Amino acid sequence: MEVGAVAAMRYVKDGIKAARLVMQHTGHTLLVGEQASAFAISMGLPGPTNLSSSESVQKWSKWKENRCQPNFWKNIVPVDSCGPYHPKGIAELGKGTCSSANLMAAAESRSSHIGLHNHDTISMAVIDKEGHIAVGTSTNGATYKIPGRVGDGPIAGSSSYADDEVGACGATGDGDIMMRFLPCYQVVESMRLGTEPKLAAQDAIKRIARKFPDFVGAVFAINKNGLHAGACHGWTFQYSVRSPEMEDVEVFTVFP
C-alpha cells in the first residue's frame, strides 16, 4: 500500500528508480511529464539523456514515410496522413451519441497495435524472507502512441498491485483497455476472498474479454505463500519464477 509512479517522463532512463524515489521521498503517488523528469534528475538520477537509439529513429522514420500508419487516432480527418488532425463529423459528435458497436470497433483497432514485437513491459513481484511483498512495472509504452499518452504501467491496481496480507499481481498488454478494469486490483482482491491465483487471474482476464473480445493482455498472480499462476487473452504468455530452493529461473507458459 506504499505507491510511487512516474509517467510521460522523458530524458531519464531509470523510470522504475524514479518511481521508487516518488514513493520514498514524497507524499505523492504519481508525477508526470517534464516535472517528473526534473524531480528524477534532482534526486540524483542521470539526465537529461537522449534515449533514442538508431533502431528507434529508423523505425520512426519509416513510420513517417508510411504516412504515420498505423496510429492510435480515431474519428479524425485526414485519415492517411501525419496530421494535423481534426475531429471528424463535429456536428455528430456534439450530439453526444455513442453506440457500443463504435466502442468495440475502436477497441479492435487499438488492440491490433499491441503485440510481442512492439511491447516492452516488465513487471516483477518479490516476496522477501520476512513476507513483505513488492511489485513494480516499467514500460516504454505503446509504439506509435500519441504524445502525452499514459498507459497502465504507472496506474496502481492496473499493471501491478500488492498487499502483504494477500499477494501480488503484474500485468501487460493493451494498457488503454486494461486500465479500465484495474485487473491487478481485481486479482488481489479475489485472492483476498480465498480464490486461488489461477482462478483469480483467469477471472480478471475474462472480465475484460467479455467487454473487449479482441483485446490482447495477460496477468500473473502470486499469493503470500508463493503459489503462482498466469492468465492471458489474445496471445501466448510466458512468465518466469525463481525461489531460494530453485537452482535457476523456471519459465511458465500460459495459453489463451
* Enzyme catalytic residues: 121
- Does residue 173 have a known ligand-binding role? yes
Backbone angles phi, psi at 47, to 5 degrees: 155, 170
Q: How far apart are CA 141 and CA 159, in angstroms?
A: 12
- Does residue 149 have a known ligand-binding role? yes
Q: How far apart are CA 14 and CA 17, in angstroms?
A: 5
**Helix-strand-coil percent breakdown of the chain, rounded to 5?**
30, 20, 45
DSSP string computed for 210-237: HH-TT--EEEEEEETTS-EEEEEESS-E
- At 163 the three-state DSSP class reads strand
Task: Report how far apart the first and last C-alpha atoms of the chain are (Å, whole number).
Answer: 31
What is the rounded radius of gyration, in angstroms, for the C-alpha atoms of the chain? 20
- Does residue 152 have a known ligand-binding role? yes
- Report the Cα 129 to chain-centroid distance in Å: 28
- Does residue 174 have a known ligand-binding role? yes
Q: Count other Cβ atoms within 10 Å, centred on residue 60.
A: 14
**Helix residue spans in 82-229 (DSSP H):** 90-94, 100-111, 175-178, 183-192, 197-211
C-alpha cell recorded at residue 189: 482482491
Q: Binding site for substrate: residue ranges?
A: 149-152, 172-175
Q: Binding site: residue ranges?
A: 149-152, 172-175
